[in-house]
Chain A
Amino acid sequence: MPEVYVNSLLFIAVFVVVALGLPIVAFGLSRLLRPHHFYREKGETYESGTEPFGTSWVRFKVKYYMFALLFVLFDVETLFLYPWAVVFDRLGLFAVIEMFVFLFLLALGLLYAWRKKVLEWN
């Protein structure tokens, strides 16, 4: 069905035009409408008065890696919970028990991390 194909391409083209147009129009309009009154403090990153220092390219502490790892634990947990949540009423009790076995094993992982003092800073 070539015409369907062309239509879907047309849709993408329209989408691109709109997506590009929106920010251009928005920024352009605001540039035209806003008053032009500049003073030094306006150019600072934070207008709250806090002086920024250093560059924005700072290294993150390796310690954060542990939290990232724990995040992965729960991230993967939700990964399997979502499809399970969709169908568990049709699969019956067995699926519920299976999922709780899975959750139990993951909880053991968390318990392990906790006992290994991963959750403590320092």
Chain B
Amino acid sequence: MNAIWLPEVIVLAGAIGTLAFGLAARRSKAMSDLAMTLALITVVVALLPTVGLIGTVEEGFAGAFRIDGLTLAFHLLILIGTGLVLLIARDGRSDGVPPQYLAEYAALLLFAALGGMLIAAAADLLLLFLGLELLSISSYVLVGLKKTHLGSTEAAMKYVLTGATATAVFAFGMSYAIGLTGTTDVYQIGQTMADAGFMARYGRLLFVAFFFLIVGAFYKLASVPFYMWAPDVYQGAPTAVTAFLATVSKASGMALVVRLFLGSFAWVAWEAQPNVIKNFWSESTPYIAALSALSMIVGNVLALKARDVKRMFAYSSVAHAGYLIIPLAAVNPMMIDQIVFYLLAYLLANVGIFAVIDQVGRDRGSYDLSAFSGLYHRAPLVAWALLLFFLSLAGIPLTMGFFGKLNILLGAVWGGHFVLAGLLVVTSVISYVYYFAVLKQVFMRPGTTERPLAFSFGTATVIALAVLGTLLGSLFPGEVMRTMQQAFDAVQMFGIYQGRL
């Protein structure tokens, strides 16, 4: 019996502690800084038991809380992402967030991370829903933290309205799934649906439930049916929060989709007509493939005309959501590993880029493309790091992002989805255009100033760590993938269907 709940409890205690600390240290700037550091320490401390739990497969709280390879992989992604975002937020405190809210800033980031971790650990639809809400509601407040900044409050307003609508859609789907199967356990929902005759009786309603659940979950991913919030919210939010939404929030959304789709729905088979067996996976594949294709196309094409860098990365994140969905359509034995590896590559590159955006944006007071002009002369090392991140995101051969895309591509071909594989390649080429538009500013355009740009300690650390991670993933992709497969055996998530935990 391990303390499987320890990472979550540490993050919760850290979040409450940070809030309390902020209360005790009102209006003292040094103390507010300490609140951020406290949150950072919390994340590091929570990482320890998470690493210690690797290899564990266990359920707790009457089966609602489940630790397996999938959970731990996403826990690590979320904790690492949150830690890096906290480092950016700590040094980017002048990014419009009133200094008296720093403790809340840190605490809300921790609460949001806790929501994501609960999503990853939940084997229960109700807990999934609550985790999703904890993540969402914290994110709404985080986006609007710049209270006196019109863009920020407007972004928060839009995020709340669209997010609450998506929540309602998710809840409506959930009500059918729970009501008809009579259980909240994700796996039992699947097993009940697989009972003989169940789908024949309630199949249509369950398809409605599935549709609503997936639509609600895809909202967090910012993939096509629900991506319109992303550009405005990414642009208006404080940069560290944007980095959080682009990485941690998206990873949590992916955990939600994987657990929900693969855990309960995908494998349910029924006899539609005599001797015609259908299953959810084969029935829903065309739709998911279409959403993936549309996300790739829409995201990459709209990013072409964005001038604001944060807005550009919102569209870019829509496109990456499209890449991430491909394995769900092209089901293959390695799909979860593909998703996690790609998420890791994406997370490292994105957090690094947002660290640079934060520093440059605060220096120039603008997030326009032109703010990056001449960056190579102002901070050559950072410019090279930026080059690495962009190459990785674009998927230029021999970078981590390339191997991530290659894995997904091979999976798509293995699953027979040649159109998706082709679109992955073509849209990646389109993405070169806008990624290199930024690089062109950095390396080839003369800036208005040659003054060296100093990077604060936290931002520099984030960039260094992201470079290190990306380099490791680029140089030893096979080893990283193998280690991941061993540490986070994705098949563990289906143990219940094989009579094990």
A binds B: yes
For the complex formed, measure the closest distance between the CB of A94 and the CB atoms of chain B, giving whole angstroms: 11
Distance A29 CA – B63 CA, assembled complex (angstroms): 65
A116/B23 in contact, CB under 8 A: yes
B78 cross-chain contacts in A, Cβ below 8 A: none
A76 cross-chain contacts in B, Cβ below 8 A: none
Distance A25 CA – B20 CA, assembled complex (angstroms): 61
A105 cross-chain contacts in B, Cβ below 8 A: 16
Minimal Cβ-Cβ distance residue in B for A117: B26
Q: Which of A77-122 contact B (CB under 8 A)?
A: 105, 108, 112, 115-116
Say yes or no for B19: interface residue by CB 8 A criterion: yes
Minimal Cβ-Cβ distance residue in A for B107: A112
Query: What sequence of 0s and 1s flags, for each residue 8-23 of chain B, a beta carbon within 8 Å of any chain A beta carbon?
Result: 0000000010011001
B23/A108 in contact, CB under 8 A: no
Give B contacts to A, CB under 8 Å: 16, 19-20, 23
A115 cross-chain contacts in B, Cβ below 8 A: 23
| Main SS at interface, chain B | helix
B23 cross-chain contacts in A, Cβ below 8 A: 112, 115-116
Give A contacts to B, CB under 8 Å: 105, 108, 112, 115-116
Distance A116 CA – B23 CA, assembled complex (angstroms): 8
For the complex formed, measure the closest distance between the CB of A17 and the CB atoms of chain B, giving whole angstroms: 35
Distance A75 CA – B45 CA, assembled complex (angstroms): 35
B20 cross-chain contacts in A, Cβ below 8 A: 108
Distance A78 CA – B182 CA, assembled complex (angstroms): 25
Distance A115 CA – B20 CA, assembled complex (angstroms): 10
For the complex formed, measure the closest distance between the CB of B356 and the CB atoms of chain A, giving whole angstroms: 35
A116 cross-chain contacts in B, Cβ below 8 A: 23
Distance A105 CA – B20 CA, assembled complex (angstroms): 12
Distance A112 CA – B20 CA, assembled complex (angstroms): 8
A-B contact pairs, 7 of them (CB 8 A): A105-B16, A108-B16, A108-B20, A112-B19, A112-B23, A115-B23, A116-B23
Minimal Cβ-Cβ distance residue in B for A108: B16
B16 cross-chain contacts in A, Cβ below 8 A: 105, 108
Distance A116 CA – B16 CA, assembled complex (angstroms): 15
Please provide the 7 A-B residue pairs with the shortest distance between their CB atoms, ordered closest to farther.
Answer: A115-B23, A112-B19, A108-B16, A112-B23, A116-B23, A105-B16, A108-B20
For the complex formed, measure the closest distance between the CB of B160 and the CB atoms of chain A, giving whole angstroms: 15
A108 cross-chain contacts in B, Cβ below 8 A: 16, 20
For the complex formed, measure the closest distance between the CB of B138 and the CB atoms of chain A, giving whole angstroms: 14
Distance A67 CA – B74 CA, assembled complex (angstroms): 39
For the complex formed, measure the closest distance between the CB of A98 and the CB atoms of chain B, giving whole angstroms: 10
Distance A116 CA – B20 CA, assembled complex (angstroms): 11
For the complex formed, measure the closest distance between the CB of A119 and the CB atoms of chain B, giving whole angstroms: 14
Distance A105 CA – B15 CA, assembled complex (angstroms): 12
For the complex formed, measure the closest distance between the CB of A92 and the CB atoms of chain B, giving whole angstroms: 14
Distance A108 CA – B23 CA, assembled complex (angstroms): 12
For the complex formed, measure the closest distance between the CB of B407 and the CB atoms of chain A, giving whole angstroms: 42
For the complex formed, measure the closest distance between the CB of A1 and the CB atoms of chain B, giving whole angstroms: 21
Distance A105 CA – B9 CA, assembled complex (angstroms): 13
Distance A112 CA – B108 CA, assembled complex (angstroms): 14
Minimal Cβ-Cβ distance residue in A for B12: A105
Distance A37 CA – B23 CA, assembled complex (angstroms): 64
Minimal Cβ-Cβ distance residue in A for B24: A115
Minimal Cβ-Cβ distance residue in B for A115: B23
Minimal Cβ-Cβ distance residue in B for A116: B23
Distance A116 CA – B24 CA, assembled complex (angstroms): 10
For the complex formed, measure the closest distance between the CB of B359 and the CB atoms of chain A, giving whole angstroms: 32
Minimal Cβ-Cβ distance residue in A for B19: A112
B19 cross-chain contacts in A, Cβ below 8 A: 112
Distance A59 CA – B19 CA, assembled complex (angstroms): 34
Distance A116 CA – B100 CA, assembled complex (angstroms): 11
For the complex formed, measure the closest distance between the CB of B476 and the CB atoms of chain A, giving whole angstroms: 44
For the complex formed, measure the closest distance between the CB of B104 and the CB atoms of chain A, giving whole angstroms: 10
Minimal Cβ-Cβ distance residue in A for B23: A115
A112 cross-chain contacts in B, Cβ below 8 A: 19, 23
For the complex formed, measure the closest distance between the CB of A109 and the CB atoms of chain B, giving whole angstroms: 10
Distance A90 CA – B20 CA, assembled complex (angstroms): 36
Distance A74 CA – B16 CA, assembled complex (angstroms): 19
Minimal Cβ-Cβ distance residue in B for A105: B16
For the complex formed, measure the closest distance between the CB of A84 and the CB atoms of chain B, giving whole angstroms: 16
For the complex formed, measure the closest distance between the CB of A95 and the CB atoms of chain B, giving whole angstroms: 13
Distance A31 CA – B23 CA, assembled complex (angstroms): 62
Distance A10 CA – B339 CA, assembled complex (angstroms): 60
Distance A105 CA – B16 CA, assembled complex (angstroms): 9
For the complex formed, measure the closest distance between the CB of B65 and the CB atoms of chain A, giving whole angstroms: 14
Distance A105 CA – B13 CA, assembled complex (angstroms): 11
